[in-house]
Every structure is written in C-alpha cells, then in structure tokens.
Amino acid sequence: MIKIGIVGTGDRGTSFVRAAEHIPEMKIEAVVDTNPIRMEAVIKHHHYPPVKKFNNLDDLLDANIVDVVFITTPDWTHSELITKCLEKGYHVFCDKPLAITPAQIKEILIAANKSSKMQFMGFNMRYNPLFTKLKEVTGNKDIGDILTGWCYSGYQGDGYFRRWHKFKEKSGGLIVHKGCHILDIINWMVDSYPVEVYATGGQKVFGGNKKWPGCHECKEIETCAYARKLTDDQMKLLEDIYIKAATVDGYTRNYCVFGPSDVPDHYLLIIDYASGARVIFEEIFFGTGLFYMGFAGEKGEIVTGSFIPDSIIVRKKFDRDKEKRYQVQKETKEFHGGADIYMLKDLIKSLETGTQILPGFKEGARSAIIGVAAMISIEQHKPVNIEQLLPIELLQ
C-alpha cells in the first residue's frame, strides 16, 4: 500500500482523494493546507475519508507517515514545497505547471538532480487515450521525424478569469498555467527541447475594470452572458470553503471575468526545438472547445481534432492511397477522460518497480519555460532565446 500526503486541499487535491477510491494500492494518509478553515470545510463538504491533518508541510514531512507527497497547491507555491520534499528525502508528484519563473524552475531542477527520490510531473493529458495513441502513431515514424507542427485550442476558459489564475504573479499567465498541458504534448511528440520562442497575445474578451466582487453580488447578473448563477447549495459551498476561509488568506473565487487581470486570454506561439522542428500553437480562452493538432515530417502528415472525433489520420506522401485512420478509445466522463486514473496507476507501478513511467521534472521544466518565454516575448515583441532564461543543459 502506497501512502500519499496531499498538500493543498483545493479542487485538484480533492480530485485525487476521489480518484484514490478507485485504486486499491493507494491510500490518502494525510492532507496539508495552510488555510485550516478551508481545509476543514472541504473535508466535510466533500466527504474525505479519515485522514491526518496538518497546516504546514514541514509537520507532515517530520511525521514520517507518507511515501510520496502530492503538490496540489497554486502554481506560485510549487518550487518551495517541492524542494523541501526532495531535501527531506520524499518522492514527489507535482501537478502542472512545475513552476512559473526561471529562478523557481532552476531551483527545482538543481534540487531534483541532487535527489535520488522519484519526481513525477502531473501531465495527465498524456494519459488521455487520444494523446497516448498519437504518441504511438508518431513514434512509428510513418511520417518520418517531425519537422513542423500546429495546434489550435479553442478553450471555453472563462473559469480561469474567476480565480487566482488571472494574475500573472500567481499563475505565470495562462500560457504557463494551462498552456503547459498542450506544450508538454507537443514536446513529447517532437521529442526534443525548446531553444527559442516567439509569441504574440493579449486580452480580447476577458479582463477589465468592473468592480463586482463576483457574480454572486453582481447587479448585472440577469444581463451578463458570463453570469454564473449559483444554486443555494453552490452558494453555501462558496460561503463555507471560500468566503469564510478568506479571513485567513484573502483567497476567494467566483470573481467577475471583466474585473482586473494581467494575463492574455489568447496567444500564438512559434516554438523552435533543438531537433530543428518548428511548431505553431494557438490557444484562446473564449472558444467552444474546438481543437486540432497535426504534425508533418518528410514522409507525410498526421492530424487529429474536433472534425474527426476519436480518430487520428495519417497521410503518406509517397503512398497516397494508403491513408490510415486510427480509431481511439473514447474518453470516460470522469477524471479528465479517465486520464487521472491511468496516470495514478502508472505512478503506483513506478514506485513499486523503481522504474519511472510518468514524465519527470525535466519535462515539467521544458513546458513551463516555453510559457515563461512566451510571456516575455509578448511583452517585448521579440523572440526569446531559452538559454537566456535557463542553462540549456538542465533541459537536455
């Protein structure tokens, strides 16, 4: 039985408590949250199993009662928590993104290189059946090595403008916070590390100067297209978990999406890789869920996306009649299409066999640093060389 300590009992921490109920080899032994009011309310409302409770990570680490620590706190806190776990000799799982600044990423990679413990990155998207299959198909080299790629993600992402994610100092910007998922998928397919990023972006829909504390106190609730009307139960949850708990740390949610924010709601990146590959990635947060991704090599092209659901098409340049269509297993409704469960099973297998299956912190760094570089590029209107931000050997 692998004993887990979860740090951060928010949305993500709670989703792992739920997922663990489906994995007999893992037990949530303890939880940590710096906000005792929120932690108690979450445990009660979400019916956690019996767990040991702590209000800071040091106490959990000193208690010596868990095998692996899960970091599910907001992005800006990851580096300090991860380095503590590694220094005290724990295996660590960090949910994405790894961190949000070059200094934080460097600090983690240096601690990781000194540690003999396992370091897992929470890139559950790799475990989505579509991307697992895409990796298999690109890996068999029907199109040759990947030379170029493109990805469009039309995300319905107003939710990110209702919480801490909309502040750069907390999330690094949505390119780092959310974009890191797809950036990791691209990095994984290209199988290389980034050397230069050029980006453009800004705010077209969200952000602004509205002063409403949130939809629950807004006088425009009947006319606003983005109004989120809460049921009585949802309002009670908001009050217990956030509004009352905000007396401790000021953190609440359900902010107005048209209130102040300093992160782009759309961006377009051109990423150059050490392998010579060049990939374009565009993401918007006011979309409908439209998605496509494709890659080209010297021998052909691969494409997948919303217009060919649950499918991947490969076209070979010198063999046009032989277009191949791969069918992909359907996603399940829960746990990010089933990905969380597959990922946790591989985490358990890694710990039991001593062979790392999940991506690690180097992969976490590769995707986070592209997001950081993109934010700088947007601000400075010029390409950003990754080596200016981080010693490149840390990414190799």
Chain residues binding ligand NAD by CB under 6 A are 7-13, 32-35, 38, 57, 72-75, 77, 95-96, 122, 124, 177, 336
- What span, in angstroms and rounded, lies between the C-alpha atoms of 346 and 127? 10
- In the complex with ligand NAD, the residue whose CB is nearer, 252 or 377, is 252
- Residue among 73 and 367 whose Cβ is closer to ligand NAD: 73
**Min separation Cβ 71 and ligand NAD, Å:** 8
CA atoms within 13 A on the CB side of 76: 11
Residue whose beta carbon is closest to ligand NAD: 10
Structure tokens at 324: 């191949």
**CB closer to ligand NAD, 124 vs 192:** 124
Cβ of residue 43: shortest distance to ligand NAD, in angstroms?
11
Residues 6+ apart with CB under 8 A from 211: 256, 259
Nearer to ligand NAD, 76 or 198 (CB): 76
Instruction: Kindly tell me which of 32 and 109 has the beta carbon lying closer to ligand NAD.
Output: 32
CB of 257 to ligand NAD, least distance (A): 17
154 neighbors 307 (Cβ within 8 angstroms): no
Least separation, in Å, of the C-beta of 264 and ligand NAD? 17
Report in angstroms how near the CB of residue 364 gets to ligand NAD at its nearest.
11
Dist. CA 324–CA 255, nearest whole Å: 47
In terms of CB distance, is 30 or 197 closer to ligand NAD?
Answer: 30
* Shortest distance (Å) from residue 155 CB to ligand NAD: 13
